[in-house]
Amino acid sequence: MTGYTFLDLARWFLLRFDSYCPDSDGLRYKKQIHGRESISQLFSFSSFYSSTLFSNFLMSNLDSTTVAIYGLVAVLPVASLLLFQKVNEKNPVPAVIGSEGLIASFKAVRYFVDEPLKVVQQGYDQFKGGVFRVPRRWRWDYIVSGNQRIKEVGSAPEDVLSFIDGAGEVIQAKYTQGHELSDNPYHIAVVRTSLTRNLGKIFPEVRDEIECAFDEVFALPEDDWKLVPVLPSIMKVIARTSNRLFVGLPLCRNEDFLRLNVLNTIEVVERGQKLAAYPDFLKPLVAPFIITRQKRMREMLGFVGDMIKDRIAKDDALGTNYEGRPNDMISWLLELADAEGRTPDRIAGRILSLNMAAIHTTSMALTHAIFYITTYPEYLEPIREEVENVVRAEGWTKSALNSMHKLDSFVRETQRMEGNGPVTMARKVIGKDGFTFSDGINVPRGSFIYVSAKPIHYDANLHENPRVFKGFRYAQLRDEKADKHTVEEGIFNSHMVTTSMEHLSFGHGKHACPGRFFAATEIKAMLAHLIVNFDMKAEVPGVHPPSDEHGMVAVPNQKAGIFVRRRQV
């Protein structure tokens, strides 16, 4: 039997109405067909589509339920398009693209996916300090800038602007991570408290795993250069290092266990984006055919199920302060889990999801830093000298990393230049009456709000020569503040983990990335290790591998490599 999917329909509409085309600046869409003709063509297509489906029904022995489902699917695209247009006509918030007609809006969706930074940058320039809209497949998203609006978004209560729902939108977390994690995200509190608080104590284990992991993953010849794919290699190293703290030895070095977590990370991102293409009411129906969560959960339980079961039994018998109790993520999760969540399968699910978060975000940030240090090799020697001097005085410790100001500045500058995409601070509006800014602008319930990120990072009024990479930008700022004997706030604002309204890589406000302290520790420890133990150079000298941008998400180049050899002293 021949059938049509919603994506097939979307493609048909984009091809059918090519007369809606971009003008000279590529961002505004000119309406070439009168609205009445557009609507009539839509209904003509609906009739054709329905009759085609009906013919298929006659050729197949389908039950009445299946016929009803296909009949519903036949009219839903048109209904969705009309609703999209109706909402657009009544919305007072300006749209950067896609506001001039029904089909123009849907072509604009495609353009935004392909050129997100151009669209967000135009909106920022045109409505600076205000609110503007960008079209998505089944809704409008709202993007804001300006200190007052950033403050209001960052401080809004969770029952009005949901951080959990916003953060989970890109990967469709309720499906890729499970409803239980979204409904009771206590693991975020574990990361914010137990993990962050114990970083100093567990740093020797982090350092040990970094040394072992890079040697094994790089597998370098004795004295020769080797071309190493950066992102895949870094994902393996971070998976090992993170799991040294999550599940401990020897499991953190088990190749099958590591492969599971890296694969799950990739699948969550890719399949989550695929699921996001469908309207909300269809997601429960199509998710089982797209999402691999249950399969990966069974595999994870096979690795950690017995371990967690034994830990629960020991805690029940001896309490949580017995001698030799592991100081790791499993223990911390068991301490905060409620009775329902204190089971092997529930804890295993948290471990799987924490792996995804740690591997995905930290791998991207470190990969960016490696690309920049090899594109601008003049920074290698000054950072190497700083690291060696600090280690000579303090050893390889967590506190020693805090003394590596040039290293910290370099990583922070790569974040400013790249980040995770054109926007940040995703929030879903769940308040009954939507969300109203202090100036009266209302964003309707069910919408998503984002804060402009890259346009702020590239704003010449906020950063000197913002499009020029200056690796020691923040180290120099720190020195200037210290020389002027200014308040400590000015110094701390230059630290990698510090958020501000001018530097939004980790978000800002009460929901700033809770794992940023752990991520910063891993990133700086790994980059410092690479710089003092290896020689590195770009695959193509002087050429920075371009990032891949897709809608709200940007990732470092997934195919680029660098040449590495053991350091020649």
> Which residues are annotated as part of the binding site?
513
- What six digits make up the tokens of 510? 């009460």
Residues near 436 by beta carbon (within 8 Å), at least 6 away in sequence: 442, 443
Which residue, chain included where needed, has tokens 């190493």?
228
Binding residues for heme: 513
The full DSSP string for 374-385 is HHSGGGHHHHHH
Instruction: With beta carbons less than 8 A apart as the criterion, state whether 348 and 304 touch.
Output: yes
The beta-carbon contacts of 372-378 under 8 Å, at least 24 apart in sequence, are: 372/410, 372/413, 372/414, 372/417, 372/469, 372/471, 372/544, 373/410, 373/527, 373/531, 373/536, 374/536, 374/537, 374/538, 374/562, 375/538, 375/542, 375/543, 375/544, 376/469, 376/471, 377/537, 377/538
Residues 6+ apart with CB under 8 A from 555: 364, 547, 548
- Determine the distance from the C-alpha atom of residue 243 to the mean position of all C-alpha atoms in its chain, rounded to a whole number: 20
The CA distance from 155 to 427, in Å, is 11
How many residues can be counted in the chain?
A: 569
Q: Tokens for 312?
A: 């629960």
Q: Measure the CA angle with vertex 394, ends 391 and 395; round to 5°.
A: 55
Q: Is the peptide bond before 444 cis (omega within 30 degrees of 0)?
A: no
The whole-angstrom separation of Cα 539 and Cα 542 is 9
Residue with tokens 């720190």: 478
Q: What is the DSSP string of 358-374?
A: HHHHHHHHHHHHHHHHH
Report the b/e string of 104-139 with b at 16+ CB within 10 A: bbbbbbebbbebbbbbbbbbbeebeebbbbbbbbbb
Which residues are registered as beta bridge partners of 132?
143
Phi-psi region of 324 (alpha: psi -120 to 50; beta: other; left: phi over 0): left
Q: Are 101 and 29 in contact (CB under 8 A)?
A: yes
Beta strands in 202-303 (DSSP E): 226-229
Would you call 492 helix, strand, or coil by DSSP?
helix
Query: How far apart, in whole angstroms, are the C-alpha atoms of residue 75 and residue 178?
Result: 31
| DSSP secondary structure letter of residue 95 | B
Strands (DSSP E) along 181-287, which ranges? Answer: 226-229
β-strand partners of 142: 133, 449
